[in-house]
Structure 1
Amino acid sequence: MNYETQLMGESSSILVDEEERNRGRRRLLIIGGVAAIALIAVAAALSMRGKSAATPDAVQQAPVVTVVSPGQTMVARTVSATGSLAARIDMPVGVVGEGGMVTRVLVQPGDWVRAGQALAIVERSVQSEQINSLAAQVEVQRANAKLAQAQLDRAKALVGRGFISAADIDQRTATRDQAVAQVRVAEAQLAEQRARTGRLDIRAPAAGLVLTRTVEPGQIVQAGSGVLFRMAKDGEMEMLAQVSEGDLTTLRAGNGATVTPVGGKDSFAGRVWQVSPVVDPQSRQGIARIALSYNPAIRPGGFATATITSGSGEAPLLPESAVQSDANGNYVYIVNAKNQVERREVKVGQVSDTGVAIATGLTGAERIVTSAGAFLTPGQKVKPEARKAP
């Protein structure tokens, strides 16, 4: 009985241990399965993340860029300049005669005058009396000449009767000639005084526009009084355009120009009539003189800007976005046959609303990146998309 009981107890304990071992195995299997599923999920997530990270890199390695082959375009070569406005022929008008007190001023700045027109009248009472005196002297000398001629005529009538000798005739002839000469001297003195009196008035040396006036009635003027009026001959104006030394060599007399006074919206057509033969050693600039017709908006002494057309030629024309610049100068990016970006140094020419003309560095047949050049690097692979040239 005891032995059987003992055997039954031992078998029960063996069964319990076996069951516990089975449960432990199942627990390990479950834990392993969960761990395997977690590892698979982590691997899948890492794989997806790797793919998402690799996609932008792939795109970045070959970005799409717009390119253009501009060819050659006829471009006007222009020179920009600034400068001052002035009368083309500035005529200072001052005292020509002996001067005196100004009694009347007949013109104002902005008036048009003709050649010889009186601008101001100078008091001439003393000169008028001198003219009257000299005119009387002329009459006296004429009377003397008339008397001498009459005496000569009577003497000649008496020569044949023997009352007058030939020597007396010669004497009376000389007296008559002297009297006639004195008449001429008196007339010359009268004409001189009249000319002096006529020069008292301030007159216009030529037709034109009065620019300034610095004289008033009651003012005493004389030869040292300086400039009383300034005139622009025929009203013609000009711009003294300051042009750089390099641009000066491209200009010629006859080049067209457009001048815009500062503060105004209107532009005026002009023409270069003189190019300075010298260059200022300090500023390295020369002067191109642009002739302009009269217009009230063109005021001497004012400031203006000018665009001078110096010629035309063919050059590649690019949009401004295609041209980059750095410390080394201007450049563009071109796409070579392998669709790789290359840097090309260029020299910029005329810049206008239509684009930037390239003076040197391009033939026009290249594929040039028109935008996003700042984000590219030389040697980078790109996908070019052609755009029609402007």
Structure 2
Amino acid sequence: MNYQAGGVSGDTVLIEGPDDAVGRRRRRIIIIALVAIVALIAVAFFLTRDGEKPAAAGSAADQAPRVSVIVPGSTEVGRTVTANGTLAARREMPVGVAGEGGMVTRVLVEPGQWVRAGQVLATVDRSVQTQTAQGLAAQVNVARADLTLAQAELDRAQQLVDRGFISKADVQRRIATRDAAAARLKVAGATAAEQRARNQRLDIRAPAAGLVLTRGVEPGQIISSASGTLFRMAKGGEMEMRAQLPEDDLAALPVGARAQVTPVGSSESYEGQVWQVSPVIDPQTRQGIVRIALSYDPALRPGGFASATVASGAGTMPGLPQSAILSDEKGNYVYVVDKDNIVRRRDVRLGTVGDDMVAIAAGLERNDRVVASAGAFLNPGQKVAPVLRKPGE
């Protein structure tokens, strides 16, 4: 800095040099820069604070989990119907006492044995009935002898009437005697035949050829018409499975459809054929009975439980990947996302199960949005952010 002295008043005057002016300009620039920086920081602070509310709203929206959903659409499948039911004789024949009964002397068959029509299954003591039959047979012989005698007297009378030794009235009486003897013979014969028929009915006989299923009588037992069923038979050994199905399955199940029946505890299946579909639906359960005819096999035991798969032709059903199917003690189900993006449980009934797709026989519409996977981590009523997945992805 340079100092110059003035000579007029004797005071000392400071005169700035060029370096002092430059310093003041620098200080002003620094101050202005600092003020600008502070202003920018203040603006940024207020802008950040004003944007906190939208950010919070956005974070709340981000809390809904993103899940993949799929629209099942229509799948062409060979439709099959699965059912459970019991095995039974197709035509079961209860065999009881046809006659007056008595004490059983012999039982000639065992369960599981094949018999022919009319074969004796058990015999009943007939000692008294035999004596009665013999007495009636003797009466037949007496009546026959009386008829022979009456006929002979009538023949002699007809020879003598022409000679005038016997009147026509005597001949007519002998004719009446002969006719009465003939009538008595017929009555005696009918009575004896009735007794023989009664004796034959004492035997318990098979009404038709078939398989003996149960035996409920033993030697020494006293039986009568009130004894009920003594034997149960399967006519011709024919078996069947009786399964209950919902009415929509019954409507799609034709008579003659082929079926595979698997008894419980067996790994072997037996081929059968639907021979009757119930014309009546139970108003309480909304189900009917389908009857599947089966050929005889020792493994098919009446009263046993079995499952069946019936081919009912081709059709269209909704199809889902196996990852979308869940199950619990209540059965199979899927999670469906409604229009408000809320998860809802939907019980379903499965149709044909393929390697990667499962046909849904009932419980699902073709335009439903179904959670494709990770359904086990969701809860009914939960809000989600669905992401539509195209089939095949």
TM-score, scaled to structure 2: 0.69
One-letter amino acid of the structure 2 residue matched with residue 88 of structure 1: R
Give matches, 1:1-390, under 5 Å.
74-314=76-316, 319-321=321-323, 329=334, 350-354=351-355, 355-357=357-359
Specify whether residues 236 and 181 from structure 1 end up closer, same or farther in structure 2 by C-alpha distance, changes over 3 A only.
Answer: same
Specify whether residues 373 and 134 from structure 1 end up closer, same or farther in structure 2 by C-alpha distance, changes over 3 A only.
Answer: closer
CA contact (8 A) 1:242 1:285 kept: yes
Specify whether residues 219 and 147 from structure 1 end up closer, same or farther in structure 2 by C-alpha distance, changes over 3 A only.
Answer: same
Q: Deviations over 1:327-373 (max 9, x none)?
A: 995569xxxxxxxxxx9x9987623133313677669xxxx998779
For 1:82 and 1:328, the matched residues in 2 are separated by 20
Moved over 3 A (4+): 66-74, 314-319, 322-325, 327-332, 345-349, 358-363, 368-375, 377-382, 384-387
Could you tell me how far 1:313 is from its partner in structure 2? 2.3
Could you tell me how far 1:132 is from its partner in structure 2? 1.0
CA contact (8 A) 1:243 1:285 kept: yes
Identity %, equivalent residues: 61
Q: Which runs of 5+ in 1 are unaligned?
A: 1-65, 333-342
Specify whether residues 256 and 151 from structure 1 end up closer, same or farther in structure 2 by C-alpha distance, changes over 3 A only.
Answer: same
For 1:291 and 1:214, the matched residues in 2 are separated by 27
For 2:219 and 2:232, the matched residues in 1 are separated by 17
One-letter amino acid of the structure 1 residue matched with residue 352 of structure 2: V
Could you tell me how far 1:286 is from its partner in structure 2? 1.7
Specify whether residues 159 and 204 from structure 1 end up closer, same or farther in structure 2 by C-alpha distance, changes over 3 A only.
Answer: same
CA contact (8 A) 1:102 1:218 kept: yes
Q: Deviations over 1:97-152 (max 9, x none)?
A: 01111110000000000010000011111111111111111111111100001100
CA contact (8 A) 1:276 1:288 kept: yes
Matched residues, number: 312
* Partner in structure 1 of residue 21 of structure 2: none
TM-score, scaled to structure 1: 0.69
CA contact (8 A) 1:348 1:356 kept: no
Could you tell me how far 1:230 is from its partner in structure 2? 0.4
For 1:385 and 1:88, the matched residues in 2 are separated by 47
Specify whether residues 351 and 381 from structure 1 end up closer, same or farther in structure 2 by C-alpha distance, changes over 3 A only.
Answer: closer
For 1:262 and 1:212, the matched residues in 2 are separated by 21
Could you tell me how far 1:245 is from its partner in structure 2? 3.0
Q: Deviations over 1:264-289 (max 9, x none)?
A: 11111111222222223333322111
**Root-mean-square deviation (CA), in Å?**
3.8
